[in-house]
């Protein structure tokens, strides 16, 4: 079945870096825009970024622009999020999601990976 599985989360010190991965299975990643959304503990959802099929179109939320970089490897059916200069407030569960349809909702989500930024 169609599935997204995130990995790469963990504990990192403030100022550190982390690279998250999202592996797609059961469908062809290259046919879809993909995005990242996060959720801080006990808080709501925050959209972070999305990337087009060929990586030619990329957008970031203002809150993370310049520190996060989204990328994809269609041959590997994988999506990535490089996170630099991490702050305590970046602590959250990070979800990858598939953008779908002409109205651009997110119809398929991974289970999430936890990132904790703490000294």
Partner 1 sequence: DIQLTQSPSSLSASVGDRVTITCRASQSISTYLHWYQQKPGKAPNLLIFAASRLQSGVPSRFSGSGSGTDFTLTITSLQPEDFATYYCQQSFSTLYSFGQGTNVEIK
Cβ nearer to partner 1, comparing 62 with 75: 62
Contact in structure between 74 and 82 (CB atoms under 8 Å): no
- Nearer to partner 1 by Cβ, of 18 and 37: the residue is 37
Do residues 85 and 22 lie in contact, with contact meaning Cβ atoms separated by under 8 Å? Answer: no
- Is the CB of 71 or the CB of 111 nearer to partner 1? 111
Paired with 78 in beta bridges are: 23, 73
Rounded to a whole number of angstroms, the minimum distance from the CB of residue 18 to partner 1 is 20
List, in order, residues 6 or more apart from 33 with CB less than 8 Å away.
Answer: 50, 51, 52, 53, 57, 98, 99, 104
Q: Which residues bind partner 1 (CB under 8 A)?
A: 35, 37, 44-47, 50, 59, 61-62, 95, 100-107, 109-112
State in angstroms the smallest separation of the CB of 106 from partner 1.
6
Give min distance, CB of 13 to partner 1, in A. 26
- For partner 1, the closer of residues 44 and 66 by Cβ is 44
């Amino acid at each position: 079945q169609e599935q997204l599985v995130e990995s790469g989360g963990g504990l990192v010190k403030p100022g550190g870096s982390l690279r998250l991965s999202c592996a797609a299975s059961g469908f062809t990643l290259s046919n879809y825009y993909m995005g990242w959304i996060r959720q801080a503990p006990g808080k709501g959802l925050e959209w972070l970024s999305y990337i087009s099929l060929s990586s030619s179109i990329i957008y970031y939320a203002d809150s993370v622009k310049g520190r996060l970089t989204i990328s994809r490897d269609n041959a590997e059916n994988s999506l990535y999020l490089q996170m630099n200069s991490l702050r305590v407030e970046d602590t959250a569960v990070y979800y990858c999601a598939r953008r779908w349809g002409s109205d651009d909702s997110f119809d398929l989500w991974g289970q999430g990976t936890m990132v904790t930024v703490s000294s």
